[in-house]
Structure 1
Amino acid sequence: MPIKFLAEDDRPREKFLHKGKNSLSDSELLAIIMGSGSKEESALELGRKILASVDNNWHQLSLLSIKDLMKFKGIGEAKAISIATALEIGRRRAGQEIPEKSTIGNSNDAYVLLKNQLSDLRTEEFWAIFLNNSNKVIHISRLTQGGISQSIVDVRILFKKALDHFSTGIIIAHNHPSGSLKASREDINITQKIKEAGKTLNIQLLDHIIITQDSYFSFSDTGLL
């Protein structure tokens, strides 16, 4: 059946089959995720409206809660969950695309490695990258999940993981959901505490990265480490 005779909600699927996934616009992809629109709007029109509300930015869309999504007419709980699920799958896939044995040569390498895990979160999380003598990544781990304002790491757990993986270097990172790149007094204190503990075990703290949605702050680059 020619596309022009299909219901508008079915056209993105047909385009996917005939022209491939790369041919689809963002609103067409979102329309496929939703499956259908409302009585007043097709899925395609609804998708355009939702994306327009976040300046056509997938990262901004991923920050919307289920309740936020349900404010759009035609989006019930099931559709909202489908949208959030698709975005979470995309985030996890992006994280898995980083080679496990990549080499960290500078702060930007560490940022690239962790930005998909941390940049869009609404609460703070504390992560660590464990490296060998050649600065190759041995293991990456989330250590804590915090509240809106902070995530406290247990230094003993951090170094237990480092010892378990025979790591000689550590890069720690956490996010600031507020968007601020300024290191707090607590951030500075925990960094020094981890640095000193590492000296005893001969495990070097190489950097502490603060990540926001579109940028990062490096303790090493700014001389705070």
Structure 2
Amino acid sequence: MVRDLPRDERPREKLIAYGADALSNAELLAVLLHTGTREQSVLHLAESVLGKFKERGIASIVHTSVADLAGIHGIGPSKAASILAAVELGRRLAKKAAEKVQIVHGPEDAAHYVMPHLRYEQKEHFAVLLLNTKNHILGLRDVSIGSLSASVVHPREVFAMAIRYAAASMILVHNHPSGDPNPSREDLAITDRLVKAGRILDIPVLDHIILGDNRFLSLKEKGMIS
């Protein structure tokens, strides 16, 4: 049990002494859960919870319900609510931090801004990051939501969004729920089509950012946009 551990190895005491970043995922979760059960310590209970998301990755907790978590032995509605509240707080803090990016100087800025919005989505979202003449961000707007493997995107929907917000240029953005940001043939075909449409409408497509699991790929950087 946790009480049998040396004091400086107990999750709560360790956090107080060394800071939250010194704790493992299981230890952080143990602090949230507070207590275990008669059969297992709070650390073992935390590991059981994390084990449920081992294949899909810890980020998939974002899409879990109270009922799903409460179905784990030792996790009732109260503990489940605490976990989901902490996860949602983390998401909101990440989005708030991303909002500090006001000007896009390159792919990293664009990816940093959009990552908290699209990273955890289980379906493929296609969006546009709209910019003014000085590359200030006007907003991020969803264009379509597809299946787990593809989005259907039409130029008129993309550029109607740009015209509506008086954007001078745009960056295309979409996520790959698989976590792999490498482009498919469809991604390249859609990009080429929209780049050509942007030239006609004088609303240039500067880049296409594909998001994976905490990583991204810029088609511009890879030389896939001419």
TM-score where L is the length of structure 2: 0.75
CA RMSD of aligned residues (A): 3.3
One-letter amino acid of the counterpart of residue 148, structure 2: I
Aligned to 2:33: 34
Aligned to 1:62: 59
CA 1:98/1:207 → structure 2, altered by over 3 Å: closer, same or farther? Answer: same
CA 1:90/1:208 → structure 2, altered by over 3 Å: closer, same or farther? Answer: same
CA 1:109/1:51 → structure 2, altered by over 3 Å: closer, same or farther? Answer: same
Deviates more, 1:180-189 or 1:207-216: 180-189
One-letter amino acid of the counterpart of residue 63, structure 1: S
TM-score where L is the length of structure 1: 0.75
How many Å apart are 1:92 and its aligned residue? 2.7
Aligned to 2:84: 84
Task: Tell whether 2:150 aligns with 1:158.
Answer: no
| Percent identical | 33
- In 1, the alpha carbon distance for the partners of 2:179 and 2:59 equals 16
8 Å Cα contact 2:53-2:60 kept in structure 1? no
Per-residue CA deviation, residues 104-143 of structure 1 (Å, 9 max, x unaligned), is 1111221122222233333211222111111111112233
Aligned to 1:143: 143
8 Å Cα contact 1:101-1:138 kept in structure 2? no
Aligned to 2:178: 178
Please give the residue correspondences for 1:1-225 in structure 2 after superposition, counting only pairs within 5 Å: 22=20, 25=23, 26-27=25-26, 29-34=28-33, 36-51=35-50, 60-64=57-61, 65-66=64-65, 69=69, 72-76=72-76, 79-99=79-99, 102-225=102-225
One-letter amino acid of the counterpart of residue 37, structure 1: G
How many Å apart are 1:69 and its aligned residue? 4.2
Contiguous gaps of at least 5 residues in structure 2: 4-9
How many Å apart are 1:70 and its aligned residue? 5.0
Q: Secondary structure at the match of 1:86?
A: helix
8 Å Cα contact 2:176-2:212 kept in structure 1? yes
One-letter amino acid of the counterpart of residue 60, structure 1: G
- In 2, the alpha carbon distance for the partners of 1:203 and 1:23 equals 44
CA 1:91/1:153 → structure 2, altered by over 3 Å: closer, same or farther? Answer: farther
- In 2, the alpha carbon distance for the partners of 1:24 and 1:214 equals 21
